[in-house]
Structure 1
Amino acid sequence: MRVHGWLLFICAVDTLILGLVIWFNTLDEITLISKAWDDVGPLVQTLLQEKFDCCGYLSHMQPMFDPDETCLDALVSSEAIGCRDPIIAFLDEFYKTIFTLLFGVVALDVVMFCFAAMVLEHRKVVRRWKRIDAKNAQTI
């Protein structure tokens, strides 16, 4: 039971660290998404433009949009929004769900740790009373 308690403690700390890392990434996601947009290349940018119904990153001109079914030409794409805001909104919802679940798991780990501590304490009290009863049986 003690090993179980220690494993719960380690699991809670690891899950808390993972949740905090994801939460801190949400604070800097505009920079991370900007770098990712530059790194992924035109094929993935086109897929993102189609998925989020947008053109370009900030606007259709910054950086220049990739022509596709959503952004046919400059005139059509000038009326479309940039992809940054829809992508950030999608990631915010995703990140919120993930780190909320992780913090929920930490809460469950803490409750389970408390239950394990109560079981250990109860077993200690039962052993104490058994020793007292054994002593009383010998003296009678």
Structure 2
Amino acid sequence: MPNKIFLATLAADGIFLATGCLELGFSLIVRSQMNNAPQDGQEAVRNLLYQGFPLTAGIVNAAFILAAFFFTFPGLISPMRGWLKVGGYMITFCGLFTLCVGVYLWVMTLRVKESFFPTFVAQDPAVQQLIQKSVWAWTSRMKRQAPRLTRALQFECCGYFNHTTPAFVTDATCPSPAAAALISGCGTAISSFANVFIDNIFTAVFGMVGVDAVLILAIACLLKDRKERERYSHIDEKSGYRQI
């Protein structure tokens, strides 16, 4: 009957595989959707942020995670410790790779207001107009068969740093220079939205690093347990006792 160390390692390996599948699915889905035409300002900003994500690195990292799983799984179901050792080194590499991806996303949040400015300026006036629209919108969501009103973040702003830098797009939010001067630029609202949005993602990435660390410890414990069992088995053989 499998012992608790083996079962814990097997469970950690399954979660490790799930993190790789999630990272691969997220990277592929985002890559396929980030260039779609946005329907509102929030979606426009989200798609533009996605374009700065290390999606290729995420796909490569997910491929390494899947490869590491296929090295560790044979080691789990067979007594050979070599497969587990190689898998442990591969998981360590994946953990460091994932950590680098998470740090990259974290660094993005440090200067998102300044770094997003060239991206905002490069957009068509229609996209800038979407971003300038109303700051809050009430939406109805079903929760336990009862409708619930929630507020979804939008943007009500003119220009970026202010209504002249760059020049605002004339619309219902910014109908004239006098009205636009009374409204703050979009940079602050975009920065607040981007920080919360990216924080959730890099926190999940750092959580994946935690899974890698747990799996490495579990494999180390399993290797030690198997080594001890093998040593006692040799002792029993030398003493003339053989297990049936």
TM over 0.5: yes
Q: Is the 8 A contact 2:113 2:188 kept in 1?
A: no
TM-score by length of 1: 0.90
Q: Per-residue deviation at 1:40?
A: 1.6
Name the SS of the counterpart of 2:175 in structure 1.
Answer: coil
Quote the residue 2:78 is aligned against: none
Shift in Å, 1:108: 1.6
Secondary structure of the 1:96 match is: helix
The answer (yes or no) to whether the contact 2:155–2:189 under 8 Å persists in 1 is yes
Name the one with the larger helix percent: 1
2:103 matched residue in structure 1: 20
Task: Say which SS state the counterpart of residue 40 (structure 1) adopts.
Answer: coil
Alignment of 1:29-48 (within 5 A): 29-48=112-131
Question: Match for 1:10 among 64, 72, 93?
Answer: 93
Please state whether the residue corresponding to 1:52 is helix, strand or coil: coil
Give, as a single letter, the amino acid of the residue that structure 2 aligns with 1:113.
Answer: I
Deviations 1:20-74 (A, max 9, x none): 1112222232321111111123121111111311111111122210012221222
Q: Tell me, in whole angstroms, the C-alpha distance in 1 between the residues paired with 2:199 and 2:208.
A: 14
2:240 is aligned, of 117, 134, 137, to 137
1:109-134 C-alpha deviation (Å, 9 max, x unpaired) = 10111001100110111011101100
1:10 Cα deviation from its structure 2 partner: 2.0
Q: Which moved more, 1:69-78 or 1:109-118?
A: 69-78
Counterpart position of 1:49: 132
* Structure 1: unaligned runs, 5 residues or longer: none
User: Deviation above 4 Å: which 4+ runs of structure 1?
Assistant: none
Quote the residue 2:203 is aligned against. Answer: 100
- For residue 181 of structure 2, the aligned residue among 78, 99, 109 is 78
Of Structure 1 and Structure 2, which has the larger fraction of its residues in strand? 2
TM-score computed with the length of structure 2 as normaliser: 0.53
2:204 partner amino acid: L
* More RCO (CA 8 Å, sep 6+): 1
CA RMSD after TM alignment? 1.5
Compute the displacement of 1:101 (Å): 1.4
- Residue identity opposite 2:109 in structure 1: T
Kindly provide the amino acid, as one letter, of the partner of residue 58 in structure 1: F
Give 3-state SS (helix, strand or coil) of 1:137's partner: coil
Aligned to 2:45: none
Name the CA distance, whole Å, in 1 between partners of 2:160 and 2:108: 20
User: Greater CA radius of gyration, 1 or 2?
Assistant: 1
Question: 2:193 corresponds to which residue?
Answer: 90
| 2:225 is the counterpart of 1:125 | no
